[in-house]
Amino acid sequence: MWLSSEKQVFYRATLLFSLSVLFALILNISTPVWSVLIVTPIVTMSKFKLDRILISIIKQIACLTAGMIIAEIFYHQFFMMWLVSALFVYFMISRAKYHENSFILMALFFFFSFGLVKTTEGIPVENTIYSMVQITFYVVPLAWFLFTIFPENKTIALLDIEKPKTLTPITQFQCIIVTMIISIVNLVFMLVTLESAIFCIVVINAALLTFNLSKLKQHIGLIIPIQVGGCIIGLIMNAMLLRQGTNILWTSLVIVTFSFLFIYAHFNPKYKFKSIYGYEISLLRATFIPFTLYSESHGFNPESYLHRSYDMLVTLIFLTILWKVGQYFASSPKYQRLVNKEV
């Protein structure tokens, strides 16, 4: 092949991510942010697998639809709506069985919460489903094309996570506690209209579904460098479009340049952030989520980026309180007896 394996992955990832976001803007898709959430897992794959991609997207749409249906059925019975949604979360966690499978639930729970909360607020979720289907129709052929031009390599992936030799079961106690916390978070969003702050649920779910206090602490430490840092970089990108916002060539250049820089840093040992695994890819996603949410070709709205940064700081405080409470109970003899009993 005319390019080394590492360069193939680099160019493929850069083009796939930047073109997916760019096409969402060109096609005037109502919620282009879904392009970021749909394409990121595909970008990190080492091999194109159509069934795996489609099953993942179908699961996301199914969870979004489930949240919408529960909210519509129990629209006038708020307690039942919340109770059934909690049972759904418990069922999903118990089905995962092992800690190592929980990363799949992070996105699924977000889509479920989004469908539940938005329907409760009276906002139709059908537009979101339509946007996701639209994005799927161009992302899948684009991914196939780029994986064909830059052939898959089984040994190199953007985020190559080794499978553990032993699996750690999710205990019933952990399942109940995480279900309670996720359900309380959903309740807050159902009671209070927080608009785009709902995307904080992605961060909360990622932290909670580690089922581990030390890993929860690590996630808390990543909120400022990744989430708040992403807001700042997204704001800079939006500012760069201020004068040339309607110029598609300039918009393309900005999107491709920033995608290139993030992924280049991930591959280059000189610039790679070694102390945080996958930092550049996480920052890439955290940058483009607010960028696709708040960027406008006809104006500049820095308040939205600042508000998202504030939301992330509130999320940091919330997770820190949970970590402190978890530490307190983990050190108690009663908790130790309960853990030993389940083991």
Residue 100: Cβ within 10 Å count? 15
**In the chain, alpha helices (H):** 5-26, 33-43, 50-73, 78-96, 103-120, 126-149, 172-191, 200-208, 213-222, 229-240, 248-267, 279-294, 302-330, 333-342
Q: Are 199 and 259 in contact (CB under 8 A)?
A: no
For residue 70, tell me if it sits in a domain. Answer: yes
Using pLDDT thresholds of 50, 70 and 90, give the confidence band for residue 202: confident
Contact 316, 220 (CB under 8 A): yes
pLDDT computed for residue 23 by the predictor: 94
Question: Over the stretch 291-326, which tens digit does the pLDDT of each residue have?
Answer: 998 876 555 678 888 888 888 998 999 999 989 888
Residues 6+ apart with CB under 8 A from 10: 263, 264, 267
Rounded CA-CA distance 60/132 in Å is 9
pLDDT for residue 275: 67
Q: Of 79-83, 203-207, 267-271, which gets the smallest average pLDDT?
A: 267-271
Structural domain count of the chain: 1
Facing residues of 299 across strands?
Answer: 296
Q: Which two tokens stand for residue 38?
A: 């749909």
- Per residue, the 3-state secondary structure of 191-230, as one string, reads HCCCHHHHHHHHHHHHHHCCCCHHHHHHHHHHHHHHHHHH
Whether residue 295 lies inside any domain: the answer is: yes
Do residues 170 and 98 make contact, with C-beta atoms less than 8 angstroms apart?
A: yes
Residue 58 is classified by DSSP as: H
Strand partners, 169: 98
For residue 292 the two structure tokens come to 């696709």
Q: Does some domain include residue 94?
A: yes
Share the mean pLDDT of the chain: 84
Reply yes or no on whether the pLDDT at 75 is more than 80: yes
State the maximum Cα–Cα separation within the chain, in Å, rounded to a whole number. Answer: 64
Residue 103 has pLDDT above 90, yes or no: no
Range(s) of the domain holding residue 330:
5-158+169-342
More confident residue, 101 or 169: 169
In a domain, 163, yes or no: no
What is the pLDDT averaged over residues 61-90? Answer: 93
* Whole-prediction pTM: 0.87
Close Cβ partners of 39 (under 8 Å, ≥ 6 residues apart) = 16, 17, 20, 21, 135, 139, 143
Residue where the block lists tokens 């919340």 = 82
Mapping DSSP to helix (H, G, I), strand (E, B) and coil, where does residue 170 land? coil
Residue 271 placed within a domain: yes
State what percent of residues in the chain have pLDDT above 70: 87
Is position 327 within any domain? yes
Give tens-digit pLDDT for 258-284. Answer: 999 998 888 887 877 766 677 888 899
Is position 164 within any domain? no
Give the torsion through C-alpha atoms of 183, 98, 281, 18, to 10 deg: -80
Mean local confidence (pLDDT), 124-140: 92
